[in-house]
Structure 1
């Protein structure tokens, strides 16, 4: 990523000792920021060990961050990521969602009154959808998200939520995204499920299409403008 040095919010200490976990990792912090984007990478259903140093799911999100900072107005975006304590969601513990909430609290303290858009992939998409009711959040773009039946939606009222999914995804269920969007819309969210033409779960094929659409969606959410969502994906009136 060419957006400047990564700046953990916890400064390093001497002697090689690790600080307590701080979930917010800031990649770019202009002064003053006009808005913020918080990235949440994927993980596993279960896994209590920390993510590895070579974290491929986190690397997968870097092009999304780079694309957003290169877009018009991108230099005024505060760009950050969530650092997870564990590789997995871990059932009722919902570790990724807990870390996402703490990161959002840190981000809100760092840049008060700045609107935030969450961009999460797979498990990170689930974490973004879980934490989208945070007061700082204006909207969510969930990429091939993990949406099991019965996920909460009422907290997303008045938020803009867009779920992008390739129907051929073999890891997470595109139908789950559509059902989630339907339920969220009935609960008062501006929710859309968009079928991507290719990309599978990793979003490698047609990656530029995923990057470009995500940037357009984030820009539209922050501007409170019309979403670049295909007409067939929009809810019918009434």
Structure 2
């Protein structure tokens, strides 16, 4: 990081000199010149560093901004789509897994500030952390450059996903629900069996059951991902 950035960060200067963030490497990812670089350092700082502020508050804000912008983009892009279809598209596009895929495509993991243990445990590749950091960056862009800057980031990084979403296969949970209905059965039930692993890389185990037809279990990095895997597993085992 250059001296200008260090001066601009004010109270964060000492912390960054001992654990620097390369904002020049972030520049092509966000396509934005920060007026308040500290926001972007915060967006890349995980709680395991013990340094405050970390990215959690920005992640909270960015999650809401992403949802609002994505809803607007989908509303304009699919004028004939029903509410249910747009909701399904939205849930897929703003999921933690989708955000983490964006982070991986940008090699964002290399820029995240992690405590030694979290980094040794593979935190830089964690779906949870990568997804959170992308949302935190959206929050930082919103605060630093307004909605236009946040929207530009979202449009650029999600453009291909939005274009492909209508042709994408149905979500496994939706497909399983339709499968059950076609057999005159009630909606599948999902039960959380437990979670394991360190806080920054939790694993959730879920069981899905359709009464009288069977059940399946699966694990994922979030409850939603585990449910998706369980639905896919059920279909693989029972839809042959």
TM-score when normalising by structure 1: 0.24
Highest CA radius of gyration, 1 or 2?
A: 2
Normalised by the size of structure 2, how large is the TM-score?
0.24
